């Protein structure tokens, strides 16, 4: 079974692409959603986060206080690296366990969706990488429509902390263009067939 990563900058449309693959029967691991789950339910991770960032890292309900952690790390690279160094290995193990279950179920390949696939180092767990590309101006428009609480400066700040789109495209094995110029569905269907063929060849 092949493990395929899918990434792209904020507003590129990774989630839309993953929904199309899911309709085709491909299991999709949403790293952001699973990270939230692991941060709440993994007792080792919870202990490490409280030790590193204080009891304020969690709300009385048991939910992780994302706003508090965001304030602590957003403009402090050292603290962000510390947070990622705690969280990413635990999420990586969660993905490995999930992927093993999908392999047992007989799937030819799975997708791992993550905005920070390269930045986190989790690309090293994967066989191939897809990047979803859209021009920056279009991505900014999409995010501002989707998240009305954000300002243009907020979006630019997030973009500035992510790997450039050009580098993502250079490092990717496959590129899907979600630029409102090329139809997305035919690209996904063609790539699905190609990955299935690769997965079949890998099992021979």
3 is in an annotated binding site: no
14 is in an annotated binding site: yes
Please count the other Cβ atoms lying within 10 Å of the Cβ belonging to residue 81: 11
160 is in an annotated binding site: no
73 is in an annotated binding site: no
Q: Residue 178 CA to chain centroid, in angstroms?
A: 17
151 is in an annotated binding site: no
161 is in an annotated binding site: no
Going by the annotation, the residues of the binding site for ATP are: 11-16
Going by the annotation, the residues of the binding site are: 11-16
């Amino acid at each position: 079974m092949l493990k395929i990563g899918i990434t792209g900058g904020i507003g590129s449309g990774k989630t839309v692409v993953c929904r199309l693959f899911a309709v085709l029967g491909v299991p999709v691991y949403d790293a952001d959603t699973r990270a939230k789950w692991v941060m709440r339910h993994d007792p080792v991770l919870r202990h490490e986060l409280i030790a590193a960032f204080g009891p304020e890292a969690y709300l009385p309900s048991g939910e992780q206080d994302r706003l508090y952690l965001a304030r602590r790390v957003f403009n402090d690279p050292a603290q962000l690296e510390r947070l990622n160094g705690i969280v990413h290995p635990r999420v990586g193990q969660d993905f490995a366990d999930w992927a093993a279950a999908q392999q047992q179920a007989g799937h030819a390949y799975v997708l791992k969706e993550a905005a920070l696939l390269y930045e986190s180092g989790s690309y090293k767990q994967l066989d191939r990488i897809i990047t979803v590309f859209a021009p920056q101006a279009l991505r900014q428009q999409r995010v501002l429509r989707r998240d009305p609480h954000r300002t243009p400066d907020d979006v630019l700040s997030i973009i500035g902390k992510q790997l450039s789109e050009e580098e993502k495209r250079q490092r990717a094995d496959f590129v899907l263009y979600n630029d409102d110029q090329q139809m997305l569905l035919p690209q996904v269907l063609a790539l699905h067939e190609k990955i299935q063929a690769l997965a079949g060849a890998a099992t021979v």
